[in-house]
Amino acid sequence: MVEIPEEQQAQALRRVAEAAARRAEAQARVDEITEELRQAAVTAAAVGASRSRIRALAKVNVNRLYAWWTEAGLEVRPKKAPGGS
């Protein structure tokens, strides 16, 4: 049996829709976990944990961590000027 182009197109579009749905579910889970990580990183910093240790364990961009801490009202040291020590 030979598939007609419309059937092939319909099958291909179903695969697109299925993959998109799986991706949306995965992204929602990533968003949940990221929020959990944000809360944990903020709490750890607030109770005095080493920020370098938090950065190492969190495995996220340092700018993201600093943004989370700033949004939470935690003090963040200013960035060094380029070439500064």
Domain range list for the chain: 5-71
What is the token pair recorded at 78? 């200013």
**Averaged pLDDT, 3-14:** 94
Among the listed residues 29, 69, 19, 34, the one whose alpha carbon sits nearest the alpha carbon of residue 48: 69
Encode pLDDT of 21-67 as tens digits.
Answer: 999 999 999 999 999 999 999 999 999 999 999 999 999 999 999 99
- Say how far apart CA 62 and CA 75 lie, in whole Å: 15
- Which tokens hold the place of 75? 């003090």
Going by pLDDT thresholds of 50, 70 and 90, the confidence category of residue 79 is: confident
Q: pTM for the whole thing?
A: 0.76
Question: In a 10 Å sphere around its CB, with 0-12 CB exposed, 13-18 middle and 19+ buried, how is residue 41 labelled?
Answer: buried
